[in-house]
C-alpha cells in the first residue's frame, strides 16, 4: 500500500505543483503585459496632451502676432487688395476679405442715396504704424504744425501728445484688417456740408452693414481713449472677436520696439485705449 501511494501520489503532487507554477507564471506574464500596455497608453496620452498644449501655445503666439499687426497683409490669403476706384489714395491698401465685401455692399447703398464713400486708410501693420509714431516722436512729421521733439522735450508728455490721434504701434485697430477710415481722416472734412451728410448717412446706415464707430464722442459713455474720429469705422463681426482676444492675450510688455516704448507701463494703454471704445462696438 505504502509503495503504491508513493508510486502514484508523489508524481501527482509533483504534477499539481508544476501545474500551479505554470499557471502562476502565466498569470505573472499576463499581468506584466497588461502593465506594459497600460504604461504605453499612459505615455501615448501624455504625448497627446503635450502636443495639444504645444499646438495651443503656438496658436496663441500666432494670434498675438496677428493682433499686433506684425505681418504683411499682401502675403496673407485672408486679405485682399482694395480696388483703386474705392480708395482716395494711390498706395496699395488691403483689408480682410469679409471687411471689403461688407464695405462694397455699403458703398452701393450709399451711392443710391447720392453719398460717396471711399476708403482713405485700411490695414496698417506694425511697421507702418511704427514709422508714423517714430516720425512724430523725432519731429520728422509735424503735429499741429509743431516739431514735438522741440516743443515738448519731456518724453512722457510727448508720448501723451502723439497718443491723442495716433495709436501706439501694436495697439491699433488698423492692424486687424477690420477697420477703415472713410473719405478723409480729418476733422475739418467732417465739418463741411458734404462731410456732415456722409457722417449722418453712416450713423444711420453703417450698422446695417456691420460697421460701428469705435471712437465716438467722448463723454459718459466713453471716458477714455482717442478723441472722436467720425471717419473711423470697424467691421464688427470680426473686430469684436479681435478686441476680446486682445484683452485676453496681450500684456503691456508685448507693446515695445518703437520710440518711447519705456513709457508704456506709465499709461493704461490696453484698458484706456484698446478697450476704450464705443460700448456698442465691444
Ligand atoms: Zn482710423
Chain segment 143-164, per-residue pLDDT in tens: 999 999 999 999 999 999 999 8
- The CA-atom distances, in angstroms, between 269 and each of 152, 160, 212, 232, 273 are 21, 11, 21, 19, 5
Q: How far is the CA of 4 from the centre of ligand 1 (A)?
A: 109
The range of the structural domain enclosing residue 83 comes to 74-281
Q: How far is the CA of 123 from the centre of ligand 1 (A)?
A: 9
Q: Is 252 a domain residue?
A: yes
pLDDT at 4: 64
Cα dihedral 229, 232, 233, 234 sign: negative
Q: Is 87 a domain residue?
A: yes
pLDDT at 274: 97
Q: How far is the CA of 232 from the centre of ligand 1 (A)?
A: 5
Q: Is residue 258 over pLDDT 90?
A: yes
Q: Is 32 a domain residue?
A: no
Name the grid cell of 68.
499686433
pLDDT at 237: 98
Q: How far is the CA of 212 from the centre of ligand 1 (A)?
A: 12
Of the ranges 4-8, 160-164, 175-179, which one carries the lowest mean pLDDT score? 4-8
Q: Cite the DSSP H helix spans in 68-125.
A: 97-112
Q: Is 147 a domain residue?
A: yes
Q: How far is the CA of 231 from the centre of ligand 1 (A)?
A: 7
CATH number of the domain where residue 93 is located: 3.30.1380.10
Q: How far is the CA of 236 from the centre of ligand 1 (A)?
A: 14
Q: How far is the CA of 77 from the centre of ligand 1 (A)?
A: 23
245 neighbors 188 (Cβ within 8 angstroms): no
Q: Is 85 a domain residue?
A: yes
Q: Is 199 a domain residue?
A: yes
Q: Is residue 1 over pLDDT 90?
A: no
Q: How many domains does the chain have?
A: 1
pTM of the model: 0.88
Q: Is 55 a domain residue?
A: no
Name the grid cell of 63.
494670434
Q: How far is the CA of 121 from the centre of ligand 1 (A)?
A: 7
For the chain, what is the mean pLDDT?
A: 96
266 closest CA partner among 123, 124, 107, 156 = 156
Question: What pLDDT, in 10s, does the model give residues 99-144?
Answer: 999 999 999 999 999 999 999 999 999 999 999 999 999 999 999 9
Q: Is 53 a domain residue?
A: no
pLDDT at 8: 82
pLDDT at 164: 86
pLDDT at 186: 87
Question: What pLDDT, in 10s, does the model give residues 182-219?
Answer: 999 989 999 999 999 999 999 999 999 999 999 999 99
Of the chain, the percentage scoring pLDDT greater than 90 comes to 92
Q: What is the mean pLDDT of the segment spanning 47-61?
A: 97
Q: How far is the CA of 70 from the centre of ligand 1 (A)?
A: 18
Neighbours of ion ligand 1 (CB under 5 A): 181, 232
Amino acid at each position: 500500500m505504502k509503495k503504491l501511494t508513493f508510486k502514484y501520489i508523489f508524481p501527482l503532487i509533483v504534477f499539481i505543483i508544476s501545474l500551479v507554477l505554470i499557471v502562476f507564471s502565466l498569470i505573472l506574464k499576463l499581468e506584466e503585459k497588461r502593465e506594459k500596455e497600460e504604461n504605453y497608453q499612459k505615455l501615448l496620452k501624455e504625448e497627446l496632451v503635450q502636443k495639444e498644449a504645444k499646438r495651443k501655445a503656438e496658436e496663441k503666439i500666432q494670434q498675438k502676432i496677428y493682433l499686433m499687426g506684425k505681418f504683411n497683409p499682401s502675403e496673407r490669403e485672408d486679405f485682399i487688395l482694395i480696388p483703386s476706384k474705392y480708395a482716395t489714395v494711390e498706395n496699395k491698401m488691403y483689408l480682410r476679405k469679409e471687411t471689403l465685401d461688407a464695405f462694397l455692399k455699403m458703398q452701393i447703398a450709399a451711392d443710391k442715396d447720392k453719398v460717396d464713400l471711399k476708403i482713405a486708410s485700411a490695414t496698417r501693420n506694425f511697421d507702418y504704424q511704427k514709422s508714423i509714431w517714430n516720425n512724430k516722436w523725432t519731429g520728422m512729421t509735424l503735429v499741429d504744425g509743431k516739431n514735438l521733439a522741440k516743443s515738448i522735450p519731456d518724453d512722457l508728455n510727448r508720448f501723451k501728445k502723439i497718443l491723442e490721434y495716433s495709436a501706439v504701434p501694436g495697439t491699433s485697430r488698423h492692424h486687424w484688417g477690420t477697420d477703415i477710415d472713410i473719405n478723409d481722416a480729418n476733422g475739418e472734412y467732417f465739418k463741411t456740408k458734404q462731410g456732415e451728410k456722409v457722417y449722418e448717412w453712416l450713423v444711420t446706415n453703417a450698422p446695417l452693414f456691420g460697421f460701428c464707430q469705435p471712437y465716438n464722442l467722448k463723454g459718459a459713455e466713453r471716458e477714455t481713449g482717442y478723441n472722436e474720429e467720425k471717419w473711423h469705422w470697424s467691421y464688427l463681426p470680426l473686430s469684436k472677436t479681435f478686441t476680446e482676444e486682445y484683452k485676453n492675450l496681450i500684456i503691456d510688455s508685448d507693446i515695445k520696439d518703437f520710440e518711447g516704448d519705456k513709457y508704456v507701463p506709465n499709461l493704461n494703454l490696453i484698458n484706456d485705449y484698446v478697450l476704450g471704445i464705443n460700448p456698442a462696438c465691444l
